[in-house]
Amino acid sequence: MIETVAVLGPGRIGRQIALACALGGCRVRLVDLKPRPDGAASAALADARREIARDLGLMAEEGVIKAGEIAPALERIEDHVGLEGLGDCGFVQEALPERIELKREVFARLAGRVAPDAVIASTTSTISPAHLADAVPGPERFLVAHWLNPAHIIPLVEVVPGALTAPAVVERTLAFLRGLGKTAVRCADSPGFIVPRIQVLLMNEAVRLVEDGVATPEEVDLAIRAGLGFRYATVGVFEFIDWGGVDILYRASQFMTRATGDERFQTPRLVEEKMARNELGPKTGRGFFEYAGEARERFETAKVRALLRQLRREREGDVTYFRAVDPFPLQSAEHTKLADFYARLGEGRLSTTRCAGCRRTAWPPRAFCPECTSDRFEWVDLPAEGTVHAFTVQDTGLPAGFAGPRVFAIVKVDGHRIFTIIVDGDPARVVIGQRVRLKPVRVADDPQGDPRWLAAFTPT
């Protein structure tokens, strides 16, 4: 079991790896190796610690970790200068700039300074382990562990063994990373590994779209976030090739090659082989994966569910709150009724009045029944969910303290059309039919000194 980790280099990726390891329960030595004037190393490490503390705070604010985890994580990270004193580190992660000679020089200096069974890993995204392994004392314990930036957030770490890497070292590394909560994926030594190889093509093609006047950088980014990014958050590339159909990729590749005259769109050999064998995906029972029997229905149902859940998460993230209050009770002269209304709302209960005579419920809560004029009533609770029935965006007529523009909406709750004001979130993301649920938020005290609440609705 690896308990102590050395991270060589306190730069951006190094400090992120240190944070991830500390949150995973490891003691971490964050090592500065750069020759610096007196005091500069301390300043560099202090800057790294400041950023780590900031990110821990953000993680707590976003609910990724608990606030009580911040101090223990910081205590596990030790500022360290030089390579002495690393003998108890079971995992040494190099996180230096992408310069082969610099990395090789540091690896050579590890001889006699780290335990003979310590795993030594590089976080390079471009350099083959074959170009580094012979500089390591004990190349059988060396491999690439490529963390994706930001390393404390992105789950993936690509594990790339070299030709001399011992199988036990690979398994030990995979287990260590998974113990930190990371998704560790093993891949063979090849230029760019997995993600950087795909990413460089994606990035360059995006730049070419702008060069060719097809779209602006903002438009390309929006398309990626709302399209590719949305899809591939839940569906793998090969899963989508199968789901769409291998023949669709084949024909798209053929068209793009003819249309652009560019060989980079040529059909891969493996796709041509799949076409020849009629292995086109779920519709033929086999593509890159098997879909025999009920497997097709299970696969498609699972992927549709995953995408729907992703859509729900996107909507919840884009419209953070539906903080809504019906303005009619606020304008009512019946202050006692208002006090009761806000008190119940503060308990998480959206309530209205029901006539004790004709049993009609009314919104807003009233001092008398509009049907039979009775002044006898009882409070009834409404469901904590409703549906956006209609809305308009404007920047006037808002309650004091609310800046526009905001969304004025009718939310149907148990048949009642409740006029609401949505004061948080992107108005462009509000849609008719969107389900919302109640969450009370205390915002102020009214002039009479009673607590004042808004019914905060969040998407369901």
Q: How is the chain split into domains, by residue range?
A: 4-186, 215-318, 322-459
Q: What is the pLDDT of residues 288-303, one digit of tens each?
A: 999 999 888 888 888 8
Mean confidence (pLDDT) of the chain: 82
Q: Note if the pTM is more than 0.95.
A: no
Most confident of 119-123, 197-201, 370-374: 119-123
| Distance of alpha carbon 40 from alpha carbon 45, whole angstroms | 9
pLDDT of residue 275: 94
Label residue 377 by pLDDT band (50, 70, 90): confident
pLDDT at 226 over 70: yes
Average pLDDT over residues 210-223: 88
Give the per-residue pLDDT at 329. 40
Does residue 330 register a pLDDT over 50? no
Architecture of the domain whose range is 215-318: Orthogonal Bundle (1.10)
Strand partners, 385: 437
Q: How many CB atoms lie within 10 A of CB 376?
A: 11
pLDDT of residue 378: 83
One-letter identity of residue 383: P
pLDDT of 441 over the 70 cut: no
Residue 110 pLDDT > 80? yes
What is the Cα–Cα distance from 401 to 285, expressed in whole angstroms?
Answer: 60
Residue 298's CB: how many other CB atoms inside 10 A? 11
Give the CATH architecture of domain 4-186.
3-Layer(aba) Sandwich (3.40)
Choice between 313 and 456, residue whose per-residue pLDDT is larger: 313
pLDDT at 328 over 50: no
Q: Which residues contact 72 (CB under 8 A, 6 or more apart)?
A: none
Do 19 and 55 form a contact (C-beta atoms < 8 A)?
A: yes
Report helix angle 237-244 to 246-260, nearest 10. Answer: 90
Could you read off the pLDDT of 145-203 as tens digits, one per residue? Answer: 999 888 998 889 999 999 999 999 999 999 999 999 899 999 999 888 999 888 888 88
**Listed residue (387, 453, 441) closest to 416, CA to CA:** 387
14 exposed, middle or buried (CB, 10 Å; 0-12, 13-18, 19+)? buried
Whole-number percent of the chain with pLDDT over 90: 42
- Preceding omega of 405 cis (within 30 degrees of 0): yes
Report residue 136: phi and psi, to 5°: -90, 130
Rounded mean pLDDT, 385-405: 61
User: Across residues 33-62, what is the average pLDDT?
Assistant: 89
Q: Which residue has the tokens 């769109």?
A: 265
- In this prediction, residue 366 carries a pLDDT of 65
How far is residue 432's CA from residue 422's CA, in Å, rounded to a whole number?
13
- The answer to whether 352 and 364 have CB atoms below 8 angstroms apart is yes
Model confidence at 327, pLDDT cuts 50, 70, 90, reads very low
Q: Given this model, what pLDDT does residue 29 score?
A: 98
Q: Does residue 409 have a pLDDT over 70?
A: no
